[in-house]
Amino acid sequence: MVNFIFCVGFYSSGVLLILMTAHRYAAVMYPRSGFVSTTGCKSSLACVAIWAVSLLVAIPAFLFTEVQNKRCVYVESSWSLWDIYQQNILFIVSSLVLVICYSQISCRLLRPTAQRRKNKTLKLIFILMVVFFVGWAPYNIVIYLKSMRYHPKPPADSQTVAANCNPSEKLDYAYFISRLFAFSHCCLNPVFYVFVGVKFRNHLKKLIKGNIRKSNSIRSRHSRLTITSLTSGDEFSM
């Protein structure tokens, strides 16, 4: 179950990252296109498609895993290779989409006719690219190197096996460290893609101010003093 939930979150965040990048590319390059709009049934269908694809891809992690030495592993090495290469393919596709789209956006923003906020936008694009590759590139390189273990190997003597233990142990440490960086990128995505946006910050401020005003009005209503006449039973509010 833990592996299944991880795979669903991993693949859904990857596909969503690709679609968000493509949406930003269309918003800058083709602002009058119908793809730019995030309202209506198109956005709902996109969300449903993302979760449906992620659930289907994550099914092997739920059906073909077992516990060995207090670890959840695939029952066959072929499924381990399938999972690793899927993650590598998703990283390659995401990298190509980010590099192509954001390079085109940067070229458009560097034109003299661009808006005044182009410097902030270019800095944000640079940060997004650096954080993405720092988070995911080491992890994908390490899991690709780990995939070499699952390929069939000829029989070896004890000395060869002992010589391969030390590099294998170092690769395990590199895997745990790189995995922390990769998973932290999922936490940073909402900060960079949502909270850094100017429109979202302004909308959030208006929403918070509106809620504060509503709460103050409700408190003022509850704080009014109600006087009940002992003789007639009528209530007077002040």
pLDDT tens per residue, the chain (238 residues)?
888 888 888 888 888 888 888 888 888 787 776 666 656 677 788 888 889 999 998 888 888 888 877 777 777 888 888 888 999 999 999 999 999 988 888 888 777 665 556 667 777 778 888 888 888 899 999 999 888 876 655 554 454 545 555 567 788 888 889 888 888 877 777 777 666 666 667 777 788 887 777 766 666 665 554 444 444 444 433 3
User: Residue 41 is part of a domain; what is its CATH number?
Assistant: 1.20.1070.10
Residue 197 lies in a domain: yes
The pLDDT score that the predictor gives to residue 116 is: 58
Residue 227 lies in a domain: no
The pLDDT score that the predictor gives to residue 126 is: 81
Q: Domain containing 33: what range?
A: 2-152+168-219
Residue 232 lies in a domain: no
Residue 235 lies in a domain: no
pTM across the whole model? 0.71
CA dist list (Å): 63 to 68, 72, 79, 219: 15, 12, 11, 54
The pLDDT score that the predictor gives to residue 88 is: 92
Position of tokens 């060869």?
160
Residue 196 lies in a domain: yes
Nearest to 152 by CA among 86, 78, 216, 96: 78
Residue 230 lies in a domain: no
Query: Cβ-count burial of 216 within 10 angstroms (0-12 exposed, 13-18 middle, 19+ buried)?
Result: exposed
Question: Domain total for the chain?
Answer: 1
Distance, CA of 196 to CA of 201 (rounded, Å): 7
Query: Cβ-count burial of 136 within 10 angstroms (0-12 exposed, 13-18 middle, 19+ buried)?
Result: buried
Residue 92 lies in a domain: yes
The pLDDT score that the predictor gives to residue 125 is: 79
| HSE-CB for 41 with a 13 A CA cutoff | 0
Residue 137 lies in a domain: yes
